[in-house]
């Protein structure tokens, strides 16, 4: 079984899904991607998550992020589950759910943790950059639903720091001050960041969000 770490290339795969056969790299194209796994179809927490994900699709679209879910059940089961999700969550599932009955994708992404469950996938999240490298991995227990506001916050941080020499501090949200990269001397930072640089400590310099 593979172990995926930050910076690794996201393993490509072709699989059946709720919208037909899908290839990961073709589906993502030049976009960012988010792949999240679910233990099984017709599970209560996952039903709330997939409904919430559908409602957040517009926010992911704004950020050029394509969504995919995965469960170890088949496409026919997915289709029936989607009916339930749409009904109880009052939404329309608007992204593919990968069918992974043979656990091929689950094993590629190390989604089965035997000490948690020997056959079902844990609740994992992978955020994939346009160059197909893995930028974030989160793993939740089956009892804890994901926070989609946090996933958007993380994507905002990843996209900001991919294109600017900054990092984001604790509890940061888009538009708030950011941390100047430690690799940049303060004098150089003041040339780069025209909105100003506050030196809190020699190693901690803050500047306004450069995208605002």
Catalytic (active-site) positions: 46
Provide the Cα torsion 20, 25, 30, 32; round to 10°. Answer: 80
HEC string of 89-148 equals HCCCCCCCEEECCCCHHHHHCCCCCCCCCCCCCCEEEEEECCCCEEEEEEEECCCCCCCH
Angle between helices 75-89 and 44-55 (to 10 degrees): 70
Count of helix runs (H) and strand runs (E) in the chain: 7, 11
Question: Hey, which residues does 39 pair with through a beta bridge?
Answer: none
d(CA 17, CA 93): 13
Q: Is 118 exposed, middle or buried (0-12, 13-18, 19+ CB in 10 A)?
A: exposed
Residues 6+ apart with CB under 8 A from 44: none
d(CA 135, CA 7): 6
Structure letter (DSSP) for residue 87: H
């Amino acid at each position: 079984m593979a172990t995926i770490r930050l910076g690794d290339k996201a393993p490509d795969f072709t699989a059946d899904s709720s919208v037909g056969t899908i290839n990961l790299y073709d589906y993502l194209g030049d976009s960012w991607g988010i792949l999240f796994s679910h233990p099984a179809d017709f599970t209560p927490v996952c039903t709330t998550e997939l409904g919430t994900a559908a409602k957040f699709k517009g926010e992911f679209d704004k950020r050029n992020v394509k969504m995919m879910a995965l469960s170890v059940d088949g496409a026919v089961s997915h289709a029936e589950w989607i009916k339930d999700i749409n009904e109880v969550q009052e939404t329309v599932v608007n992204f593919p759910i990968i069918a992974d009955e043979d656990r091929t994708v689950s094993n590629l992404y190390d989604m089965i943790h035997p000490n948690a469950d020997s056959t079902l996938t844990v609740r994992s999240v992978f955020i994939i950059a346009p160059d197909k490298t893995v930028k974030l991995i989160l793993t939740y227990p089956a009892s804890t639903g994901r926070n989609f506001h946090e996933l958007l916050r993380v994507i905002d941080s990843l996209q900001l720091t991919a294109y600017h020499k900054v990092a984001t501090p604790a509890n940061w949200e888009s538009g708030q001050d950011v941390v100047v990269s430690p690799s940049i001397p303060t004098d150089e930072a003041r040339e780069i960041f025209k909105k100003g640089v506050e030196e809190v400590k020699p190693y901690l310099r803050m500047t306004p969000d450069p995208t605002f």
